[in-house]
Amino acid sequence: MIWLIPAFFITALLYAAVGFGGGSTYSALLSLAGFDYQLLPIVSLCCNVVVVSGSTVRFARAGVTPWKQALILSLIAAPLAFIGGKTPIKEATFLLLLALSLIGAGLALLLPRREYQDEKPTALARWMPLAAAPLGYLAGLTGIGGGIFLAPLLHFTRWGGARAIAATTSLFILINSLSGLYGQAVKNGAGVFGDALSGALPLLIAVVVGGQIGSLLALKLLPERVIRWLTAALTIWAGTQLLLKAWHG
């Protein structure tokens, strides 16, 4: 448990600096530490909520959140996140999905990003609400927020400017994480839910501190591109380790 505290702190710092929650990496770290796989999504989604709540509030205060479009994407995904959270899943399937999600997320972080504020959205941008539904289900099932997949799609389709996309992603992760948590609570029961969180209190504290530092300071110390590369390296490493565990397990 001791090494998980700095690991969660670093994960929250890096992910908050690039506008994500880090749920997939939290789950991978917990799995590698030998935690019960059924409890992983509960802890990871709670960590997500802690990290992105501050970002969501800051974006809202700055007036950069496109509320109508962001809520459409989030509210389409939320019911699917609840269903994903309720869905029973075998450990081998869970680990495989999580590992592939991590590796895919890491690769997505390596994609170049540009500011498309003055360019028109592509024809595919209008179909983003359809993409939100499966991302919501995957979020609830594996304990991730789904935003790390949504953001590259929004950038690729020139859905909006970089700050609007970051604000939308934060809200998307927050709503999906809350919905997925509700599904996990329904599936596992209040007792199991409480046990998972009581044992994870030091990790939640580490995430609170790391998330605040990441969102407020990290971008001033390192270029955003470097932070994304570091986050991608961490994510791909965790996904690879988890894939090896699933393969040998």
Q: Report pLDDT digits (tens) over 152-173.
A: 888 888 888 877 888 899 899 9
Q: Chain-wide mean pLDDT for the chain?
A: 84
pLDDT at 75: 94
Bigger pLDDT: 195 vs 8: 8
Counting beta carbons within 10 angstroms of the beta carbon of residue 125, is it exposed (0 to 12), middle (13 to 18) or buried (19 or more)? middle
Q: Which helix (H) or strand (E) holds 227?
A: helix 224-248
pTM comes to 0.85
Q: Give the pLDDT confidence of 72-97 residue by residue, as tens digits.
A: 999 999 999 999 888 888 888 888 88
Structure tokens at 41: 């999504």
Classify 97 as helix, strand or coil: helix
| DSSP assigned state of 125 | G
